Amino acid sequence: MRRTHTLRRFGITGRGLVVALPYVWLLLFFVVPFAIVLKISFSDVDLAIPPYKPLIEWTAKNALAIKINLNNYAFLFTDSLYLNALVNSIKVAFISTLLCLAVGYPMAYGIARSTPSTRNLLLLLVILPFWTSLLLRVYAWIGLLKANGVINNVLISLGLIHEPLTMLYTPFAMYVGIVYSYLPFMILPLYANLEKMDWQLLEAAEDLGCRPYQAFYKITLPLSRNGMLAGSMLVFIPAVGEFVIPALLGGPNALMIGRVLWDEFFSNRAWPVASAVAILLLIILVPFMMWYQSVQARESAGAR
Amino acid sequence: MATSAPAVKATPWNDPATRPYVEIDRVTKSFGEFKAVDDVSLKIYKGEIFCLLGASGCGKTTLLRMLGGFEIPTSGRIFIDGEDMTGVPPYERPVNMMFQSYALFPHMTVEQNVAFGLKQDGVPKAEIADRVATMLELVKLGGLGKRKPHQLSGGQKQRVALARSLVKRPKLLLLDEPLGALDKKLREHTQFELVSLQDKLGVTFIVVTHDQEEAMTLASRIGVMNHGEIVQAGTPSEIYEFPGSKFVADFVGSVNIFEGKLVEDEPEHVRIASEELGGTIFVSHGISAPPEAIVWAAIRPEKVFMSTAAPEGTDNVVRGAVQDIAYLGDLSIYLVKLPTGKVVRVTQPNTSRHAEAITWDQQVYLSWDSTSPVVVTR
């Protein structure tokens, strides 16, 4: 009892602690790292450890000097490499999102309409790939797609092709890898949405003259918009910054912003430019996240 | 209890020349081993409000869903207006359904919900607007057309569902527990509105309900269902006054049932000796049952008279002690315990404000008219 009392005096309550926890988490693991990256993006390159000059310095005259260097940002716009990589990343992420939606929707729909016992099994199968590391799974795709890989060997032995198909290190392989890896992020929110669907609405639509496909188009599809949006954002946002899959499956032409970031950071040791790239990427993605949030908020306020 | 049926003035079911509008011919629906609907045949006539009444799980909803095309009968045929509809999908049937959950489309406004079926049929835009407005006016929802379903009360949702299913002018409207989600006052009010609306539009209604009062108020005829079968079909008063079995007598309204043995079986009267009653029941009409058969006499609570002085005669009279009284305002329910242990339910209207009240534990005489008991053999 006395201990609670002491804590109270400092304004600490159990409830306050619970509420504070996520904020502390965000502060430690989001705000602080972000501030560090932001700081680095405004500093100069230096041959030192760490490889940049401090932002705040005591000058010889005992004055505090803050140097904000905008050159790193300006540099991103002078070399077309960065903008090309950015545009390409957004393009790849966009196409991947559409592909995930096209593949994931029927799967989520099928799961939502299956009987509860098969449903759990199917959901388990969707989540199962997460039990091994992403890197291993991407390497497995190399084994499948390469010239003397499983797919080519099977096709040749079936007599369907005579020369092995070039699949690895092409955009095709990259899309296969991205769609494969991100598919669960599309399926799960879509499933959560479709699972809440009142299927009687489809009967009502059929009763009013809709064929089943029309009922799907007019009822199911608009009502699952939120799930599609959630899934698309969960695929699109990380896919823009994807580094591993394009690097391993996509070959040299797959110029993605994640790759550029990596190169700047580790090959060029240009931490300030790399940080500027990271900040720019964030600025581009924030509007998508905000839009998604506002749609979600509006829907949950309205749909009840 | 109201037994009027404003929509059907005549009784087409008694006229063999009338062609039935909906004909259910020996329909069975099985789910695996379980027969949800078991060999049901029914003829329903144009302009009727036919109520399928039964407890949950009796197969009434399955039967309704077969009429709507959502289930295909395992065997048997369904004809609507002379056409075989047995395997026709719901979107090609001249039938609309009002769902128990209303199934309003949450992403559409009231107007869009009502217009949905017309749009689907490619009705011209101007006509759609016109018909939707008229229909919304008819169900007293004018002015709420721009609202979304979640902004409506239960009663308003019910009206939207009704408007949406009626706007296509179906030959047959199926209603699944149409008033189930409304509170008691609103339900009573809506029952009468539904009947007058049906009268105005002349659409044939088939209503599924578990509420016998609802069935009584709405129906031109009631089909009582049990274990997938139609146990009895008839007008509300036929069902109430002439139940064909213990089940129907007990399910529709309250009833006192006495088991007894047929001791006198004459063409114009019978006498039943009942151990449960501790006396004999005299019934002033003949019944068809073998002599000495075990039969049941069903007597409605409102047809039992209660008095403190002994009535004349020895038949149809028993003594008992008042065990419990429930005062309902317009009437009171008395539970009277007979010396045999059987408890008899009696209802008496409270006709006077200062009646000399019968109280707890008082000894009373119960009697009834010789025309009141209904004798059933099953």
> Residues B225-275: pLDDT tens digits?
999 999 999 999 999 999 989 999 988 888 999 999 888 888 888 888 888
- SS3 state of residue B96: strand
Torsion angle, CA of A176/A181/A184/A190, rounded to 10 degrees?
Answer: -50
Among A193, A196, A198, A207, most B C-beta atoms within 10 A, so best to mutate, is A207
Do B116 and A205 count as a contact with CB atoms less than 8 A apart? yes
Domain boundaries, chain B: 12-94+170-247, 254-376
A197 — contact with chain B (CB < 8 Å)?
no
Do A209 and B105 count as a contact with CB atoms less than 8 A apart? no
Q: Pairing state of beta strands B294-299 and B279-283?
A: unpaired
Nearest neighbour of B105 by CB, restricted to A206, A219, A302:
A219
Residues of B in contact with A295 (CB under 8 A): none
Torsion angle, CA of B192/B198/B200/B203, rounded to 10 degrees?
Answer: 180
Q: Pairing state of beta strands B204-209 and B331-337?
A: unpaired
Minimum distance, in Å, between the CA of residue A109 and any CA atom of chain B: 19
Do A210 and B91 count as a contact with CB atoms less than 8 A apart? yes
Query: Is the reported ipTM for this assembly greater than 0.85?
Result: no
Nearest neighbour of B91 by CB, restricted to A209, A302, A303:
A209
Do A200 and B99 count as a contact with CB atoms less than 8 A apart? yes
pLDDT at B18: 82
Which CATH number describes the domain made up of B254-376? 2.40.50.140
Minimum distance, in Å, between the CA of residue A212 and any CA atom of chain B: 9
B4 — contact with chain A (CB < 8 Å)?
no
Residue B356 pLDDT level (bands cut at 50, 70, 90): low
Residue B109 pLDDT level (bands cut at 50, 70, 90): very high
A206 — contact with chain B (CB < 8 Å)?
yes
- In this predicted structure, the answer to whether residue B359 has a pLDDT above a threshold of 60 is yes
Torsion angle, CA of A247/A251/A257/A260, rounded to 10 degrees?
Answer: 80
B365 — contact with chain A (CB < 8 Å)?
no
The residue with tokens 């001249």 is B94
pLDDT at B6: 46
Domains, chain A, with CATH or none: 73-302 (1.10.3720.10)
Residues of B in contact with A222 (CB under 8 A): 107
The residue with tokens 């092409």 is A170
**How far is Cα A76 from Cα A128, in angstroms, rounded to an integer?**
40
Among B93, B120, B164, B175, most A C-beta atoms within 10 A, so best to mutate, is B120
Residues of B in contact with A216 (CB under 8 A): none
Residue B3 pLDDT level (bands cut at 50, 70, 90): very low
Q: Is B341 left (phi over 0), alpha (psi -120 to 50) or beta?
A: left
- In this predicted structure, the answer to whether residue B48 has a pLDDT above a threshold of 80 is yes
Among B85, B116, B157, most A C-beta atoms within 10 A, so best to mutate, is B116
Structure tokens at B156: 């308003």
- In this predicted structure, the answer to whether residue B7 has a pLDDT above a threshold of 60 is no
* C-alpha distances out from residue B207 to B66, B140, B354, Å: 13, 22, 42
- In this predicted structure, the answer to whether residue B163 has a pLDDT above a threshold of 90 is yes
User: How many CB atoms lie under 10 A from the CB of residue A1?
Assistant: 4
* C-alpha distances out from residue A116 to A108, A112, A129, A195, B32, Å: 14, 9, 21, 11, 19
Mind listing the pLDDT tens digit of every residue in chain A (304 residues)? 555 567 677 777 788 888 889 999 999 999 999 999 999 999 888 877 788 888 887 777 778 888 888 888 998 889 888 989 999 999 999 999 999 999 999 999 999 999 999 999 999 999 998 899 999 999 999 999 998 889 999 999 998 888 888 888 988 999 999 999 999 999 999 999 999 999 999 999 999 999 999 999 999 999 998 899 989 999 999 999 888 898 889 877 778 888 888 888 888 888 899 999 999 989 988 988 888 888 778 767 655 4
Minimum distance, in Å, between the CA of residue B107 and any CA atom of chain A: 7
Question: Which positions ≥6 away from B330 have C-beta within 8 Å?
Answer: B349, B350
Minimum distance, in Å, between the CA of residue A230 and any CA atom of chain B: 18
Do A206 and B101 count as a contact with CB atoms less than 8 A apart? no
Q: Pairing state of beta strands B229-234 and B221-226?
A: antiparallel
**How far is Cα A153 from Cα A163, in angstroms, rounded to an integer?**
10
Q: Chain A neighbours among B 104-143 (CB < 8 Å)?
A: 104-107, 116-117, 120-121
Specify the CATH number for B12-94+170-247; select among 3.40.50.300, 3.40.50.620, 3.90.1150.60, 3.40.50.720: 3.40.50.300
Going by C-alpha positions, the residue among B29, B44, B326 that lies closest to residue B205 is B44
Residues of B in contact with A200 (CB under 8 A): 99, 101, 103
Do A198 and B101 count as a contact with CB atoms less than 8 A apart? yes
**How far is Cα A165 from Cα A226, in angstroms, rounded to an integer?**
39
Amino acid letter for position B94? P
Do A219 and B89 count as a contact with CB atoms less than 8 A apart? no
Among B99, B118, B150, most A C-beta atoms within 10 A, so best to mutate, is B99
Residue B1 pLDDT level (bands cut at 50, 70, 90): very low
Do B164 and A208 count as a contact with CB atoms less than 8 A apart? yes
Q: What is the pLDDT of residues B115-146, one digit of tens each?
A: 999 999 999 999 999 999 999 998 888 889 99
Nearest neighbour of A207 by CB, restricted to B97, B101, B106:
B97
Structure tokens at B338: 């007979």
Instruction: Dump the DSSP string for B6-32.
Output: TT--S-GGG-TTSPPSEEEEEEEEEET
pLDDT at B8: 46
A99 — contact with chain B (CB < 8 Å)?
no
Instruction: Dump the DSSP string for B222-258.
Output: EEEEETTEEEEEE-HHHHHHS-SSHHHHHHSS--EEE
Strands (DSSP E) contained in A31-173 are 56-58, 64-66
- In this predicted structure, the answer to whether residue B210 has a pLDDT above a threshold of 70 is yes
Q: Which residue of B has its CA nearest to A206?
A: B91
Do A207 and B101 count as a contact with CB atoms less than 8 A apart? no
Task: Please give the helix or strand (H or E) that residue B335 lies within, else none.
Answer: strand B331-337
pLDDT at A221: 94
A222 — contact with chain B (CB < 8 Å)?
yes
